[in-house]
Amino acid sequence: MSDLTKDLESRMEGAINVLTQEFNGLRTGRASADLLSPVMVDAYGSKTPIAQVGTVNVVDTKTISVQVWDTTLIPAVEKAIRDSGLGLNPMTEGNVVRLNLPDITAERRVELSKVAKKYAENARISIRNVRRDGMDTIKKQEKSNDITEDQVHSLGDDIQKITDTFVAKVDSALQQKEQDIMQV
């Protein structure tokens, strides 16, 4: 495998990683510590990920707790969670902020499914852009007589196979996430 295809694969893998992070931020019927990963807390004069101001734990399937290390940040953590758009209402017990996840309505599940599809389409677009960059690179190499026409076709086929593999990974991840969202 050439350096070009290795580079393209690693860039496409990056698109899959971003998709995975976005999917982790989507709420399903179960509690997950990843649900709070996009929440940023106003701490010490800057926006800080919630995981850097406390320990995020899953208590049970419907409850998440955040044990805040600095008690002066508890109001900021509560505000960040309320303002996150996750639809969660934090309750404080000492230095622990508890989040009870309400049941998701059927209408909200459909909305979340649409958001998941949008994330997946963005990942597909990123993968196709990487493919286009790779194809442009081999065409430039052909024009400068660095590679032959046969090598262009061979590399083009390799790039397309890699692209198809990663698009299939996106489709598979989307299907799994939709099942998680729609599961009652």
The first and second tokens of residue 103, run together, are 């049941």
Here the tokens at position 63 are 């409850």
pLDDT of 184 > 70? The answer is: no
End-of-domain residue from the set 81, 100, 119: 100
- 97-106, 117-126, 150-159, 162-171: segment of lowest average pLDDT: 97-106
Residues 156 and 172 in one domain: yes
pLDDT tens column, 10-69:
999 999 998 988 887 776 667 777 788 878 898 888 898 888 899 999 888 888 899 999
Burial of 91 per CB tally in 10 Å (0-12, 13-18, 19+): exposed
Which tens digits make up the pLDDT trace of 90-142?
Answer: 889 888 999 888 777 888 788 888 888 999 999 999 999 999 999 999 999 88
The answer, yes or no, to whether residue 1 has pLDDT greater than 60, is: no
- Of 73, 100, 127, the residue at which a domain comes to its end is 100
Work out how many domains the chain is built from and give that number: 2
The parent domain of residue 77 ranges over: 33-100
Q: Of the candidates 100, 124, 156, which is a domain's last residue?
A: 100
Q: Does residue 126 sit in the same domain as residue 152? A: yes
Query: pLDDT value at position 126?
Result: 95
For residue 43, give the H/E element and its range.
Answer: strand 40-43
**Integer Cα distance of 78 and 65 in angstroms:** 12
Q: pLDDT by residue (tens digit) across 65-81?
A: 999 998 888 899 999 88
Question: In the prediction, which pLDDT does 146 show?
Answer: 85
pLDDT at 29: 67
pTM of the model: 0.73
Predicted local distance difference test score (pLDDT) of residue 27: 67
76 shares a domain with 63? yes
pLDDT for the residue 125: 95
CA angle 69, 48, 71 (to 5 degrees): 25
